[in-house]
Amino acid sequence: MSMRYLPLLLVAACTTAPPPPSEHHESQVFDAAIHRDAVDRIVTAALASQGAWTALEGLVAAAPKRLAGSPGYDRAVEWAQEEMRRAGLVNVRLEPCMAPHWERGSVESLTVMGGDALAVCALGGSVGTAPEGIEAEVVEVRGRAELAALGERAKGRFVFFNEPMDPTLRDPFEAYGRAVWQRGFAANEAAKLGGVGAIVRSMSLRKDDFPHTGSMRYADGFEKVPAVAISTRAADALSARLAAGEPCVLRLELSCRSLPDAPSANVVGELMGRERPDEILVVGGHLDAWETGDGAHDDGAGCVQAIEAARLLLATGLRPRRTIRVVLYANEENGMAGAHAYAKTHAGELGRHVLALESDRGGFAPRGFDTDAQPEGMAVLGAMLALLEPIGAARLEVGGGGVDISTLAPAGVPLVGLVPEAARYFDVHHAASDTLAAVHPRELQMGAAAMAALLYMVAENEATFPRNEPKPAPR
């Protein structure tokens, strides 16, 4: 534990017993203000550019569909290497892994017999149906209690999971976290009760016609039944029909399928530290995306922000003491193969990984960061983020940082995640509405600026950032 990192903020807050003003003590207090000019230069450079947006345009043009294992992902890998080199990164390389390979196929339809088609998409990993489809009645459950009480009524039917994200919660991510069990486990729960398939209300706070996909998994020992999401409006319409007691037989046709695992890769590039190049800060996002949309927010935004953060430091001549390593991860959406491969490939140097930063909550206006850093590190981050007050990105929350960097937690690497404005993220998350048009160039760029500033301060600071206690490995 470094005494240098006694945070200025805590000292300032201590009004009853101020520390004695000795020179020795002053030298031990971490003073983020020494970085004020550098942060200002980074923000100025960011505002004068639309680097992140231009890069995102390039990614979406080159590889709009880039789920793990697909040819689109390979195109994204090509794009990423070129973009890193263009940004001035060095040691640009691929780090291979094997990723799951699931294909949506061309047939996706859910219709009410004698009525309308519902806006539907298969959940990632779902089995398809036989070509003739599945026809069955449907039974609705709103939440776990209704599911537990369903009993025989599920037999031979579709089970319709219609618990909405809770709009009363302050944090949309918490609302997502509480509702998303339906997407992940609906197929298993339906199969356990003898159901023929699972229909899940989309994880969105918006009422529209976009179905939202996402990963699901099958448990051993149960039949694999198909699982789909329907749009929030379709879910409301189906629910109303059931409530009115109208006859409701549904017909589902899906041609999705799983293929053998496919070769994939993380894309890595570096900005070498000027004094301590073997001490590393990781910054990244995930290069794969669901192919319902273009993955512009999720997580094209995070990828281009990671590259842009490094580019801004090069453009401003602010090459920090330590190395900044940009990692664009493979297969976050349906397997975490890239995240596990990174931790394994770099196991020998994780002790010299100072911090890992991820952007994977969309390219909206930055509000701050979340972190799993322990109190000493938390205080240092708080002092640093005070310098981002002028751009509205000074908030510091307790959190996990991000899925891709979570595999570094067992080595005690402190994790940090960019926290953007969250109100509209789930409107587009994993849906066809996640396009370039949904991303605002200035908001995206300011996220990159906030990341660059934080990376610079941690990478430049003379004392090394406090490490965490090791944590259990993520699944």
Least Cα distance to 364 among 437, 446, 307 occurs for 446
Of 40-48, 187-195, 357-365, 425-433, the segment contacting Zn ion by CB under 5 A is: 357-365
d(CA 423, CA 436): 18
Judged by CB under 5 A, the residue of 253, 360, 404, 434 near Zn ion is 360
Q: How far is the CB of 70 from Zn ion (least distance, A)?
A: 16
Residues 6+ apart with CB under 8 A from 283: 306, 309, 310, 324, 325, 326, 327, 356, 357, 358, 359, 451, 455
Is residue 404 close enough to count as binding Zn ion by CB under 5 A?
A: no
User: CA-to-CA distance for 366 and 316, rounded, in angstroms?
Assistant: 21
Smallest distance from Zn ion to CB 173, Å: 12
Helix (H) or strand (E) holding 179: helix 172-179
301 with 444: CB under 8 angstroms? yes
Q: Could you tell me which residues come within 8 angstroms of residue 66 by beta carbon, excluding any fewer than 6 positions away?
A: 72, 73, 75, 76, 287, 288, 289, 291, 295
- The residue among 161 and 176 lying less far from Zn ion, judged by its C-beta, is 176
CB of 360 to Zn ion, least distance (A): 4
Note whether 434 binds Zn ion by CB under 5 A.
Answer: no
- Site stretch for Zn ion (CB under 5 A), options 194-202, 359-367, 411-419, 455-463: 359-367
Is residue 291 within the footprint of Zn ion (CB under 5 A)? no
Cα dihedral 186, 188, 194, 199 in deg (nearest 10): 20
Binding residue for Zn ion, selected from 253, 299, 434, 460, defined by CB under 5 A: 299
Taking 3-state DSSP, the helix, strand and coil percentages for the chain, each rounded to the nearest 5, stand at 40, 25, 35
Q: Which stretch binds Zn ion (CB under 5 A): 297-305, 409-417, 420-428, 430-438?
A: 297-305
288 part of the interface to Zn ion, by CB under 5 A: no
420 - beta bridge partners? 366
Which listed residue (279, 291, 298, 443) binds Zn ion by CB under 5 A?
Answer: 298
Site for Zn ion in 32-91 (CB under 5 A): none
Q: Which is nearer to Zn ion, 189 or 332 (CB)?
A: 332
DSSP state at residue 6 = E
Give least dist CB 256 to Zn ion, A. Answer: 20
Q: Give least dist CB 302 to Zn ion, A.
A: 7
Q: Which of 77, 88, 101 is nearest to 260 (CA)?
A: 101
**Measuring CA to CA, how many Å separate 194 from each of 5, 132, 163, 324, 328?**
58, 20, 21, 52, 41
34 DSSP assignment: G
Residue 376 in contact with Zn ion, rule: CB under 5 A: no
Name 42's Cβ contacts closer than 8 Å, sequence gap at least 6: 312, 313, 316, 318, 449, 452, 453, 456
Distance CA 85, CA 78 (A): 11
Stretch that binds Zn ion, among 42-50, 334-342, 358-366, 390-398 (CB under 5 A): 358-366
For Zn ion, which is the closer residue by CB, 289 or 383?
Answer: 289
Among 146-154, 173-181, 354-362, 418-426, the segment contacting Zn ion (CB under 5 A): 354-362
Please report whether residue 189 would count as binding Zn ion according to CB under 5 A.
Answer: no
Q: Which of 253, 332, 358, 443 is catalytic?
A: 332
- Min separation Cβ 354 and Zn ion, Å: 24
Size of the site for Zn ion (CB under 5 A): 3
Shortest Cβ 332–Zn ion spacing (Å): 6
Active site residue 26: no
Residue 270 lies near Zn ion (rule: CB under 5 A) = no
Question: Rounded to an integer, what distance in angstroms lies between the CA atom of residue 4 and that of residue 345?
Answer: 32
Residues assigned a catalytic role: 332
> Which parts of this chain interact with Zn ion (CB under 5 A)?
298-299, 360
